[in-house]
Chains A and B, each alone.
Chain A
Amino acid sequence: MVWLIVGIVAAVLLIIGIVMYNGLVRLQNQIDNAWAQIDVQLKRRFDLIPNLIETVKGYTKHEKGVLEECTKARTAFMGATSVKDKAKAENMLEGTLKTLFANAESYPNLKANENFLQLQEELSGTESKIAYARQHYNDIVLEYNNKVESVPTNMIAKMFSFNEKEAYPVPEEERKNVKVQF
């Protein structure tokens, strides 16, 4: 009788353990997936940049510096491997793109160019997708880290060495609440 009870308790504990373990694995896979999603969007932006530079070139002869800056930031990103380096190079790229679009304001011909407008829409769409992909990544990392640290999942996490993950650093200006303009 005692053995039966012990057996049942052990089985229940085992099942709970399996469920917790599977939960951690699921989250870990989601994190990998979210990371890949960021990469997909970043890649998309890289593919758009040469097109953009090509289009802008013809109109803005004396803004060479910005274009070169853009290309440089792009190559810098390619070399980055860690989360921190990537985020840094990415911010640089974002900054140069912003300057580029700001400069474009003073070229009415360029602003009227169909191709440029399309690229601008495409890039701003990709830009927000990158932000959303990062946000999703951080959401899942937060959920995962909470599980890894809190009782009782932390026991399972320790046992099978699920380690805490690094969140994607968000640029300073994006932390502020964006206000809607009317």
Chain B
Amino acid sequence: METKVNIHEEVRWNKIKTYMIMSLFIFMIAILGYFLGILYGTPVFGFGIAIFGAIFYTCIMYIQGSNIILKTTGAREVTKREYPHLFHTVEGLAIAAGIPTPKCYVIDDTALNAFATGTNPKNASITVTSGLLNKLNRQELEGVIGHEMSHIKNYDIRVMLITAVLVGITILLSDFIFRTFLWGGGDRERKDGGQLVIILIVVAFVLAILAPVIAELIKVAVSRRREFLADANGALLTRNPDGLASALEKIKADPDPLVDKANKATAHLFISTPFRKTKGFVTNLFSTHPPIDERIKRLKAM
């Protein structure tokens, strides 16, 4: 089980990826601002506002993103007194990984799931559902925590956090703009036929540019490789791949995998997809996780 890919290399790549995603986002919003500016006759102003807003938003999210994610998923910080075995597991594996102990959060939900977030190992946190705590035994919990711990150690959490918040706002923005063009601005359209053409161009632009970019961002964030790597490194931490394998079996068998407050932007953070299993082309296209059977198979082979 010597799957130790050079960790320093992984960390460096993840940092570069984060900057690439951020720049791409700012660039995209700036272009969008420019086009909206054209619509209102002040492209340079639109461009300026958009780029300023995008940078401002990115900075705020970089600092506050993990708190926002924890809030929106309904996670609450727990004390050692409440869940001593969770704390012991997290503390133990943090020692094994050689990183500071992350904070522990719990989502009160019967579903079995977990995620880690933060921008670096010093401010990271691990969240598990109460269902997970109830249904997994000690080795299985260790397996799951080990998986999350290696996400933290590899700086996967930084890429995933930035993707979550940027994808979130992008979906929101494109939705908003799309709606505005569909229902609002009706007066102007009737007065001037030329403007209608521009509007259509902008809408087409938004749809053509944003949709694939979002899909691409999600793919970058949750490359199957990243999950497999976290499985392998997690197993290396616990020295027990069977623990995680059997935890994944239980997660797979979970009849209701839906974490109530998960959404498209945060889905890729979780150890296993928080949505109901449906078989459709679109679902597979946007599927954020490698098939669980494949993961179990690889763990068993270690």
Contacts and interface: CB of A to CB of B under 8 A. Distances in A.
Interface string A110-151: 000000001001101110110111011001100000000000
Helix, strand, loop or mixed for chain B's interface?
Answer: helix
Nearest to B84: A121
Interface stretch (B59-67, B94-102, B155-163): B94-102
B96 A182 contact: no
A62 interface: no
B209 to A, nearest CB: 42
Contacts of B84: 118, 121-122, 125
A133 B95 contact: yes
Interface string B66-92: 000000000000000000110111011
Contacts of B93: 132
A129 B98 contact: no
A182 B246 contact: yes
Nearest to A175: B239
B91 to A, nearest CB: 6
Contacts of B246: 180, 182
A96 interface: no
A136 B91 CA distance: 13
Contacts of A136: 95-98
B243 interface: yes
B287 interface: no
Contacts of A178: 139, 239-240
A179 interface: yes
A180 B240 contact: yes
A120 to B, nearest CB: 11
B88 A125 contact: yes
Given A180-B240, A180-B242, A37 B88 contact: no
A177 B239 CA distance: 8
A51 to B, nearest CB: 15
A30 interface: yes
Given A121-B85, A122-B84, A178-B139, A129 B95 contact: yes
B243 A132 contact: no
Nearest to B244: A180
A177 B240 contact: yes
A132 B92 contact: yes
A41 interface: yes
B140 A180 contact: yes
Given A121-B88, A125-B85, A41 B243 contact: no
Nearest to B246: A180
A28 B243 CA distance: 32
A132 B96 contact: yes
Interface string B217-249: 000000000000000000001011011001000
Contacts of A181: 137
A126 B85 CA distance: 11
Interface string B26-56: 0000000000000000000000000000000
A89 B25 CA distance: 58
A67 interface: no
A39 B106 CA distance: 30
A179 B240 CA distance: 8
Contacts of A133: 95-96
B242 A41 contact: no
Interface string A47-84: 00000000000000000000000000000000000000
B240 A132 contact: no
Nearest to B94: A132
